[in-house]
A and B are shown apart, each in its own frame.
Chain A
Amino acid sequence: MLTHGREISIAATIALVLMLLAIFAPGFFALGNLGDLLLANMPVFIVALGMTLVILTGNIDISVGSVFAICSVASGGFAKLGLPMPLAVGAACAAGAAMGALNGTLVAYVRIPSIVVTLAAMVAFRDALRWATEGAWVQDLPRSFQWFGMSQTASNSATFAAAIALFAVLAWFLRGMAAGRTVYATGSNPEAARLAGIATSRVILAVFMTLGALTGAAAVMNSVRFNQIPSNAGLGLELKVIAAVVVGGTSIRGGKGSLAGTLLGVVLLGIIGPALTFLGFSAYWERAIQGGIILAAVAAEAIGGRRVEHAGLQRSAA
């Protein structure tokens, strides 16, 4: 269920990068820089928590970027309508969960592969938003929306605390709760899970809805930091999120992985770009190196997975 080996190797890679930075570019550790990095990666992290659940069940959701955009625009819209901030946050999460429910229903009950469902959803949601907003950005946001109506520092601290709380609750859910087990079982062996009395369709619907709600939360946390909400928010978010989850050791085939791994994956992919800049490499290397890391992670999983399969086959033949 857990891949501690992977978590240790990512942690070691992060440590190596940080060490290089400490030696060659100590300026990286300036508080302002770290704070910016943290905030910039917060949406990726929160969406990645939900994505980990979805990938653990053996599914994938590539529509999160579009859901993120709709929730961003919706949260601004609700705030402009005069909805109090807690309600606007709730409404954005509900909108995300509703879109997640649509995806989840099509995957779990109509049994369409999740890659197809969410590819369609990615395009449809994005274009629906474009049609609704006609490409206009949400502007003139009320004061209560900016920084949740608090000071910038207070808002940032609250966002940070919320992210930690979400991580803790979900990690506890996955490791400690009986329902968390059903997520792993559904991804690892759906047939066996079904025979053990687990309603796998309901599990799949639930993880898609959770991902949607978390995407809504991430969208609000991101939107309050700016005084406009672009209608093309979250472009490419799905790639960053899925990359972080996979680098974090969650098997793309489901059933294996952890949220701690995802946290490390987000950190590694989050610092690698700025680290290159600080170390004096051209920024053009960033994506190439990110791609290399993802490839290495997937290759490590493929090779590891094959070894397990072979061992199993040999034993069952014996």
Chain B
Amino acid sequence: MIRMMVGRELAATYPSRNVRAGAVALELRDVSSEAAGVRNVSLSVRRGEIVGLAGLVGSGRTELACTVFGLTPADSGEILVGGTPSRIDSPADAIRLGVGYVPEDRRRHGVVLEMPIAANTSLANLAAVSRGGLVDEAKERELAERYARQLRVKAPSVEIEAGALSGGNQQKVALARWLATNPSVLILDEPTQGVDIGSKAEIHAQMAELAAQGLAILMISSELPELLGMSDCIAVMNAGAVSGVLTREEVTPQRIMDLALVPAARGAC
């Protein structure tokens, strides 16, 4: 039945990956942020690894992302990017350190709907396409076209306003913006929520591809199949803290739900 609806094997929508995790790209040591309600989170993501962040809505996943990205800076604990202890007090700091964040609500937080795809792609890294503060439009176009091609954005040209695209394609543009910053760590918040099935598979394939190239990905998701299908290990959050970490071998939907519902011992990934 599902196979008939989707038109292909459901299992096949998740790309098979050959993980070769490298050095630790992002490490959180006992990170807390009063404002965000994040409590003593310790977590690490290696290069080439996709770490899933599971938990109920309101468990503090997005809040943790905001803390790592400098929107609600940590007031205690340590954040290490590429092994170096780093202060991240603003998104600009995070971007400089190579940390990207693709937010959950792309219409509100992701793409700038009135801007063309090209301007959306370069927005977080305008320095890369400008010289002396002046935007080089040819260079910007080239950058946007490269990522539009790589992510298979369906649009006749990168001059099209992002508001005219479908949800899935808007999400790809949001992703393109972050890839254009050459991040070493990418936080994806519900990357495929409200995205059509075709785009969803493409986004998953892209994530696998990026991980294979050495990107460290922290993926927030409320969808169990996505978490199970994409993650190398899954950290479960509960009331602002990590209640447990499961490796690919130990993970079951039941275990995730148990950790999401019952406060349990903290672990490290």
Contacts and interface: CB of A to CB of B under 8 A. Distances in A.
Q: Do A and B belong to a common assembly? A: yes
B119 A1 contact: yes
A196 interface: yes
B114 A197 contact: no
Contacts, number: 97
B119 A178 contact: no
Nearest to B194: A316
A192 B110 CA distance: 5
B111 interface: yes
B91 A311 contact: no
Nearest to A180: B135
A178 B116 CA distance: 15
Interface string B170-213: 10000001000000000000000010100000000000000000
A312 B109 contact: no
A197 B91 contact: yes
Contact of B107 (A184, A198, A316): A316
Interface in A174-194: 176-179, 181-182, 184-185, 188-189, 191-194
B37 to A, nearest CB: 19
A284 B130 CA distance: 52
B269 interface: no
A181 B126 contact: yes
B115 A184 contact: yes
B166 interface: yes
A199 B93 CA distance: 11
B209 to A, nearest CB: 23
Interface string A291-318: 0000000000000000010011001101
Q: A177, A181, A318 — which one has the most chain B CB atoms within 10 A of its CB?
A: A181
A197 B109 contact: no
A195 interface: yes
B126 A1 contact: no
A256 interface: yes
A312 B163 contact: yes
A185 B112 contact: yes
Interface in B116-161: 116, 119, 123-124, 126-127, 130, 133-135
A181 B123 contact: yes
Contact of A195 (B91, B135, B167): B91
A43 interface: no
B135 A189 contact: no
A255 interface: yes
Given A191-B108, A191-B109, A1 B114 contact: yes
A177 B140 CA distance: 12
A199 B90 CA distance: 9
B119 A195 contact: no
Interface in A190-237: 191-199
Nearest to B127: A178
Contact of B133 (A177, A191, A315): A177
B60 interface: no
A194 B91 contact: yes
A197 B95 contact: yes
Interface of B: 69, 71, 90-92, 94-95, 101, 103, 107-116, 119, 123-124, 126-127, 130, 133-135, 163-167, 170, 177, 194, 196
7 contacts: A1-B115, A177-B130, A196-B95, A196-B177, A256-B114, A316-B170, A318-B166
Given A191-B108, A192-B103, 15 more contacts: A1-B114, A178-B130, A178-B133, A185-B112, A189-B113, A193-B112, A195-B101, A197-B90, A197-B94, A198-B92, A199-B90, A311-B163, A312-B164, A315-B164, A316-B166
Q: Which 5 A-B pairs have the closest CB atoms?
A: A178-B126, A196-B124, A197-B92, A316-B167, A197-B95
